[in-house]
Amino acid sequence: MSLIITTQTKKQTQVAISFEHNLNVLNSVIVGTIGQEANNINENFIFTKSTVIAEFFKQTQINNVLIAHNGNDFSFAFSSIINTVLNKKKIYSGILNNEIGSSKTIAKQFFLNEKKYDFFIYIEVLNVNKNKNIVKIYLLNSQLKMLTKEEENFINNTAINEIVYKKEDILDSKSISTNNDDLLFWFANKDLDWQKIENNYQFFDANYVSQLNNFFKEEQINIEKLSPIRKHFKQLTIIKQAKENSLIWRKIINSTQFKTKYVFWIKNNKIKIAHRKNLIFNIIKDDDIKFLVLDYIRNNFSKSTQFLISYESKPFFNNFVQKYFNGKIHYYSEYNQVAENSIYNIKQKNNDNLIIINQDGIFFSPKSNSEKIYFGLNTSFLLFWFVQILDYYSKNKQDIFDVIDKVKQESDFVYRYKTKMFISRNSFFNLLNELINSDDIKSFNFELDKQNLNNNYIIAKFFLEKGDYFKLLYSKEEEKLSITTFLKSANHSEKEAIFLENKIINKVKIVKKDTTISKKNTKKNVAKLAIFLTVIILIVFLLIYKFYNSSFQNGSPTGIFIKFYDYFFTPKIYRFYFIINLILFIIWMILMSVQIKRVLHYQGINPHFKHLFVATFISGFMQMSTPFAFGGEISYYWYLQRKGYPLKNISATLTYNALVHQIFNLLISILFISLGFYFYRDLFNLDSTEKIIFFIWLIANIFLNIFVLLIIIVIGIWKKLQYWLIRNFVWLLHLNIWKKIEDSKRVEYNIQFFIDNFKNQFIEVLANKSLLFEVLLVYKLPLFLVSSSFATLVLTLQKANYNINDLSIIDYIKFLSGNTILAMSNNLSPAPGGVGSVDIITQLVFKSYFRQDDNLNLTIFNFANRFYTWFLPYIISAFGIITVWIGEKRIDKYKEIRKTLELNSSLKSQITKSSTKFYKYAILFWSVIVIVFSLFILLH
């Protein structure tokens, strides 16, 4: 039993839910997970429960049973077990074959029209993920009536010993065939021009065994001509593996014939339609299809037409019917009643046209002169009704999008958006409490549907102002959450409705951040690791090779190495300089991490320092490995969002840091490059090609710095420009280059929501002057003023027998000026890590410290400087990023273990470890390595 406990404090309301679940019949369905544990569905459970059901049939004198399933191997096996048990109990039963598809609606229609069956059993097995299958067993009386509470109690409370499944006990099943009578009805009774259909329409159903494909085959219709994608294994595999509709749409549309006006795609018993207009296909939104159908009904059906409307459908539909029709309106509940049963009862009294409206759409059950009822709920039947509707508008030369807009303007319709995602039970519990106490999503009332608490579903409604609300539907077994918003167009624009939906989705992302697990695929993970390590080794090798070549262009590599070792590792006291540089690198990492932490903390986010420190390691490596250092920001973004930090805060923080970095560079450049014209007069005496190229490069980088600074400010603040860029980006997507988006406006508003959130956070952070001065003076300035490169220069000069006693603070300022020229010249270098260009400019700028003929010591200084400021940090970062990659995989592994224990507590005795201390051991390991290596450097 599911239990609700509500507690209140002065500020917050807390709701607790027990997620206990049993395998009882509730609302005529048994729901469970396939497995071998006590509370799972398996062959033994099916055998045992079938025996109880058979006894129930004996008690209620049910003699003829129709069994159907959804074509899954599990569902077929379970159907065979049920059929065997019933036949052994002398109850006639047969299994409906799947020759024309495994549709539940087809099976229900067949059951009602045959009239010789007393009971209907439907087994549906849904694959949730690689390791989880959900079973739903529907038990329905004659005329598809749901079981009464007394009947459910009999099945639930009849206790018998578990029966052990034996494969040899299974009897051969009688196969019952269905037919395509409902589709043939269209072509016998409706004005459909098949030649016109072939010329203007194409249909795609990836399922080989479907009613549509079977119908084409029986009628000897050329499927190749009608299908935009040829049904061979490779194509269908690509389609099935695609994660987004947009990718499949691109494949479908790119394969259509030029003359095709409409493409129908049947997916999961839903129909999607694309219409070619001005050479470009536009995908018609699900709600827009409904508006078009409503207009067609208004123009083509009599005022006395009957309607069957679900209580769960949008109120707009009910209002529309009441406004334009005076026929009888029937109602039913999608959760507690079966639509086909309601249709059957209505048709028994009056077999006239009937329009069915529910959450899934609008359907048509046509008038029939025969005894058969055509329910119109299966997709193939509905598809040809849509063809008839579209033909109607083509004949009348009406643009369907104009018609849709007209109906929208006439009506106070409701924006209904539905989003589905997987979320753990604990995360759902946290989400409820987060939404109840949310300040930015202000609901004045919250309601849990207590009737469904013992069922597989938890339904929660949050009521907003002026009759708006949103609903959460959570499946305990599938751990799947559906978020549906119902927002009146009188209260909200489409943009506002999508923004509110995104606010709710953001709440979900926050509560599920600790449960995110990378997809498990051992072969792929091994391949990824191999590719990852190969890429890192290649990058490191190529950059070091380039560094090697550019460093020794003025001397022998062997001689340089010997001199470098002599200068910086003898006597042994000089080796401390190596340790000092290691410490300075760690201090730099800590300061960068603290800087990020301060900016996030100002936004109300309290990040773990270890997350920021690890992110800085990754960022350091990627920054030095990519042109223009762009990889640094991207890797920061990737790692922090993986750890569950809100995207708007990450984006605002990284943009702010980039802005402050460019501002600091510009301010320092104005001061110290100006001094450079005095200290390095010869450098700016453009008397050689080398100096002219350097000067142009420096000026170009300064202007590039200013340009990037302006871009950050303008794009970060200027709303109109942001929206213009978004609109054009979506337009490019709409051209079907990468993917074919189904709802361009929705995509545009989703991006706008993210950008608006980012912009608001960014402006808020930017407005804090004290934070700006803190970052500039506490984190940026010290790192600039404390230059280890000057110490490298001094040690080089001393070892080269230069007089260093006369060096003063002026020389340090001069060096900082030269270092600023060097840094600004490579601030946004296209060469990763500035390798190559830095070496040339270093020798050009700092040769004034050496005698004109002393190229050897100048080269040694360049090599030593690059060794300590680039090579050493780069190698450390490379080891760091490999450690992080392995660490994240370990964390994912133990998240999966905890998830398994959550679902199956009996495994706790077998699994002794459910968390990892990888990073603690990694820090200890690398600390030992650093200490041992440092001692080796100092003592060998």
What band does 234 get if pLDDT is binned at 50, 70 and 90?
low
Kind and range of the H or E run holding 371? none
DSSP 528-592: HHHHHHHHHHHHHHHHHHHHHHHHTTTS-HHHHHHHHHHHHHSSGGGGHHHHHHHHHHHHHHHHH
- Mean pLDDT for the stretch of residues 63-82: 89
pLDDT digits (tens, 9 = 90+) for 90-142: 888 888 887 666 678 888 988 988 888 999 999 999 887 767 788 999 999 99
Task: Tell me which of 44 and 245 has the higher pLDDT.
Answer: 44
- Mean pLDDT for the stretch of residues 198-215: 75
Task: Tell me which of 688 and 345 has the higher pLDDT.
Answer: 345
Q: What is the pLDDT of residue 510?
A: 77
User: Exposed (0-12), middle (13-18) or buried (19+): which is 426, by Cβ within 10 Å?
Assistant: middle
DSSP state at residue 229: S
The upper half-sphere exposure of residue 355, i.e. CA atoms within 13 Å in the direction of its Cβ, equals: 25
| Closest CA relative to residue 787, chosen from 668, 693, 696, 695 | 668
* Domains of the chain by start residue, with CATH: 29-176 (3.40.120.10), 179-309+338-373 (no CATH), 414-515 (3.30.310.50), 543-878 (no CATH)
- Mean pLDDT for the stretch of residues 681-700: 85
pLDDT > 50? residue 780: yes
**Model-wide pTM > 0.75:** no
pLDDT digits (tens, 9 = 90+) for 506-552: 888 877 765 544 444 455 555 655 665 666 667 666 656 655 555 55
pLDDT digits (tens, 9 = 90+) for 634-646: 888 888 888 878 8
Task: List the beta bridge partners of residue 365.
Answer: 354
User: CA 883 to CA 613: how far, in whole Å?
Assistant: 13
Q: What's the mean per-residue pLDDT of the chain?
A: 81
CA torsion 94-97-101-104 (nearest 10°) is: 10
- Mean pLDDT for the stretch of residues 167-189: 71
pLDDT digits (tens, 9 = 90+) for 28-47: 999 888 887 777 888 889 98
Task: Tell me which of 929 and 38 has the higher pLDDT.
Answer: 929
The tokens describing 610, both together, are: 């270890």
Residues with Cβ within 8 Å of 334's Cβ and at least 6 positions away in sequence, in order, are 310, 311, 312, 358, 359
- Measured distance between the N- and C-terminal CA atoms of the chain, rounded to whole angstroms: 71
The tokens describing 901, both together, are: 């224990």
Q: What is the pLDDT of residue 457?
A: 79
- Mean pLDDT for the stretch of residues 915-935: 82
The tokens describing 165, both together, are: 């499944």
User: CA 474 to CA 423: how far, in whole Å?
Assistant: 9
Task: Tell me which of 234 and 105 has the higher pLDDT.
Answer: 105
The tokens describing 397, both together, are: 């030369």
User: CA 520 to CA 896: how far, in whole Å?
Assistant: 9
Contact 635, 618 (CB under 8 A): yes
User: CA 460 to CA 450: how far, in whole Å?
Assistant: 9
Q: What is the pLDDT of residue 55?
A: 92
What band does 5 get if pLDDT is binned at 50, 70 and 90?
very low
pLDDT digits (tens, 9 = 90+) for 222-233: 666 677 766 554
Range from 208-217, 278-287, 353-362 that averages highest in pLDDT: 353-362
- Mean pLDDT for the stretch of residues 338-358: 89
Q: For a pLDDT cut of 70, what percent of the chain falls above it?
A: 83
pLDDT > 90? residue 54: yes
| Closest CA relative to residue 373, chosen from 40, 112, 6 | 112
User: CA 17 to CA 452: how far, in whole Å?
Assistant: 13
Q: What is the pLDDT of residue 643?
A: 82
Q: What is the pLDDT of residue 817?
A: 92
What band does 147 get if pLDDT is binned at 50, 70 and 90?
very high
The tokens describing 653, both together, are: 């923080």
DSSP 691-754: HHHHHHHHHHHHHHHHHHHHHHHHHHH-HHHHHHHHHHHHHHHHTTSS---S-HHHHHHHHHHH
User: CA 106 to CA 889: how far, in whole Å?
Assistant: 45
